[in-house]
Amino acid sequence: MTENHEPFIAVWLDSNNAIPCHESFHRKPQLSSIININIKFSDSDECLDYMKTIQTENIFFITSGSLGENIVPIIYHLPQLLYIYIYCSNKVKHEEWANNENYAAKIRGVFIDIDLLLAKINDDVKLELKNMLPLNIFQKYDDFKLKEMTIKDLSSQSAQFMWFQLLINTLIQGVYTQDAKDDMFHECVQQYDKNEIELQTIIDFYNNYTLEQAISWYTRNCFLYRLLNKAFRIQNIDFIYKFRFFIKDLYDQIKDIWLNQNKNSSFIKVYRGQFMRHDELEKLKEYIGQLISINAFFSTTLLSSVAIDFTGNGSQRPDYESVFFEINVDCTSTSKSFANIQNHSFIKDENEILFCVGTVFRIISVEDYDNVWHVILQTSNDENIELKELLEHFSKTVVEEKPTLFALADLLLEMGEYDKAQHFAQLFINELESAGQQQYISTVQSTIGLLDCHKGNYQKALKIFETALIMALQEDRSELLLDDLNASQHNLGIIYNNIAIIYSHIEKYSEAMTFLNKAINLIDNNHIHIATIWCNIAMVYCRTCEYQAALAYCEKSMTLEHRELPRKHPILASTHIIMGMIHHEMGHYDDALKCYEKASEIHRNALASDHPFEAIAQANIGMIYIDKGDFQSAIEITNRALTAFAKLENHPTLAVMYSNLGLAYLRCNNYSMAEENFEKALQIELVSLPEDHLSIAASYNNLGAVYFDEDNYNMALENYNKALEIQLRCFPTKLNHDIALSYNNIGSAYFRLEQYSLALEDFERALTIMKKCLPVDHFDFSLIYNNMGLIYAANEEHMKALDNYNKALDIIK
């Protein structure tokens, strides 16, 4: 079945003999004209199972009296169940149980006349469309299950507001052809392919719609209003994009009317009446004084009497509260267009004022007056200054500079919505190929490669980057103007940088540095992209234990970023993470923690709470807690990071998180949980990484540690040696901190097996390497000196043992 993009679904339960079959059959088209998707069941269990699967639609449930008497007590509490209708032949009998106070609030009536039933459903649908459009309190994603969201608390969720606003602004600024209208038409036909009444309306729209009719069509009770507003509510950008030409027309018509109407007005008062769920009203009461955004086109009226008629005067309690909104509009300061659409609306008698998507209000008060809640709102431009800077930055560098599809892909990439970004990037490539504009494809291919990189598909990303590089090198630059030539060289530099990122991820650091040096020669030293290249150079130096050089490049990058970027730009967070990793490797745990926390602060302000970058920052903080001995905090933080990152299945970073979790459990002596998480990490790495990747070596080391603590020293040695073999293949010079730790691990196992001479040899190898690649005060020196002291003590060389113990103490102090 086609995915339902309408907000409602009708479920009809009736046994084959409860209602005349011919009657329900012939009336189905009439019901379809009210609610497009309606499904009939004769079995109560099947019906119940189906209703439990519904997540983003509200259910209008129609049942026969006999079946309803049994199933209503079971289903009435379902949050997705909006209304219940009893259709039967014995009204008096079934009204008795239908009036039960436990579920009577959802029962809209007992009907013996199908025309009255359909009329009631039609009235309720109209009322719910009015109620549900703008006023659902924003909710975060819960276990990645989609929640509907329209009112957004900007004080804590302003980042999501900003990104959605950027996406809508991108659509509004687009230039569209007949293809956009065709795209919308085909989608709508697909949605209503079995609804003849609505199909006729869609065909009418396609054949007769003009730009001047956008408001009229939007205010009709038809497919357009329903589909578009549900898409806004659940922020389905793929589906919203299908309506791009109409959204632009509607926005432009409102803006044109607004510019003409508000020349002489400075202040107006508008109203809105509706039902509201009790929990949603509680959120409004909780957020008095705060900012909210209406995440859809928002309908109000100049007539308070019209708004009051829609409140219902408390008639739907306890499930719904009656709410009367009084909205004070400062025409001189609001940044969003709004207009009196009375002369343009399909409904002429409501004196309607329509606000554009993303209008911001402050909640002034929420008071109860005679069964109706009176909510006063005030239009506001008091948005977060730092996020306003960020919005303006992305508007200038992405929305205004790039074609619509490419801009959408870039924004979704920044949002961590990698699959959606890839979808729009591929659409743009298809568009470029159709237009014969091959010279721009390499740039978009590079973006697709970066998306695969973020998803952990390193080999696939490398192939895409190499293809993009070939295309970029084959471009004919002989006739390019200077600006175009510079742009072409810049694009080539970005591709080189992206290839270097992949080589760094798969631990081919020499190749990574080669491509980074090529990139540096093609990017202007004052362009922000050069800071990204410097950061990647810092990362390579960190991985090869050249920490001072790594710090220098990272600081250089951060200086340029602070000069050129808004204070809360995600790039700054990435640089803080790299700086933190360098300090972490150097054993400067407090400095590393400060860097990770700065990154997390930027993420909280600029990105969604479940963004993969924030999960990485939290995982790094968890690792610091492990190194500082706070294992319970490490477990809690790492589990949160895993939950946020889990949507990127088999990503190598997931393996890192499982490894961190395993280490924390190991330090808590919970060996079974430690082994379980280390095995999870290893399985992901064997699937997603080259066979000689150092992360695989780390997992073998971790499993060896579990066996070691369980006194299974031979199994520990087997895993430690597997780790060392990989590390030596990666670093033939042996100058690597991890190799030193592996020698230390092997030495410790030999010590427990009382093979002291072999143990001492490995401890000395570890010490020699660490002296060449670590600062002299690194904590790990204390481990080696202490272990060597144990060997000398076991061999009764007490002075040598004492000397090593003192060296260990000096470092710890």
Question: Domain holding 18: CATH number?
Answer: 3.40.50.2300
Does residue 355 share a domain with residue 467?
no
**Secondary structure in 3-state letters for 746-786:** HHHHHHHCCCHHHHHHHHHHHHHHHHHHCCCCCCHHHHHHH
Sheet holding 372-379, edge to edge: 151-153, 291-294, 359-369, 372-379, 320-330, 267-277, 298-301, 352-355, 338-340
Amino acid residing at 807: K
Number of domains in the chain: 4
pLDDT digits (tens, 9 = 90+) for 428-451: 999 999 888 877 899 999 999 999
Residue 152 in 3-state DSSP?
Answer: strand
The pLDDT value given to residue 476: 63
Question: What is the rounded average pLDDT of the residues 213-224?
Answer: 93
Q: Where does a domain end: 81, 105, 132?
A: 132
Does residue 93 share a domain with residue 165?
no
Q: pTM of the predicted model, to two decimals?
A: 0.83
The pLDDT value given to residue 479: 54
Host domain of residue 368 = 151-383
Residue 576 in 3-state DSSP?
Answer: helix
pLDDT digits (tens, 9 = 90+) for 311-354: 877 777 766 789 999 999 988 877 788 999 999 999 887 889 99
The pairing of beta strand 352-355 with beta strand 338-340: antiparallel
Residue 136 clears pLDDT 70, i.e. is over it: no
pLDDT digits (tens, 9 = 90+) for 259-311: 888 666 788 999 999 888 787 888 889 888 888 888 889 999 999 999 998 88
User: pLDDT band for position 796 (50/70/90)?
Assistant: very high
User: pLDDT band for position 120 (50/70/90)?
Assistant: very high
Decide: 261 and 341 in contact? Cβ < 8 Å.
no
Does residue 117 share a domain with residue 168?
no
The pLDDT value given to residue 593: 97
pLDDT digits (tens, 9 = 90+) for 550-584: 999 999 999 999 999 999 999 999 999 999 999 99
Q: Which of 42-46, 68-72, 138-142, 396-400 has the lowest mean pLDDT?
A: 138-142
Mean pLDDT score of the chain: 89
Question: Domain holding 785: CATH number?
Answer: 1.25.40.10
User: What are the distances in angstroms from CA 649 to CA 270, 687, 791?
Assistant: 49, 11, 45
Does residue 787 share a domain with residue 644?
no
Residue 784 clears pLDDT 90, i.e. is over it: yes
Does residue 726 share a domain with residue 636?
no
Residue 146 clears pLDDT 70, i.e. is over it: no
Does residue 169 share a domain with residue 42?
no
Q: Where does a domain end: 383, 398, 426?
A: 383
Closest CA to 315 of 137, 127, 151: 127
Residue 582 in 3-state DSSP?
Answer: helix
Does residue 425 lie in a domain region? no
Does residue 86 share a domain with residue 46?
yes
Does residue 673 lie in a domain region? no
The pLDDT value given to residue 736: 84
Does residue 215 share a domain with residue 359?
yes
Tally the C-alpha atoms within 13 A of residue 47's C-alpha that lie toward its C-beta.
28
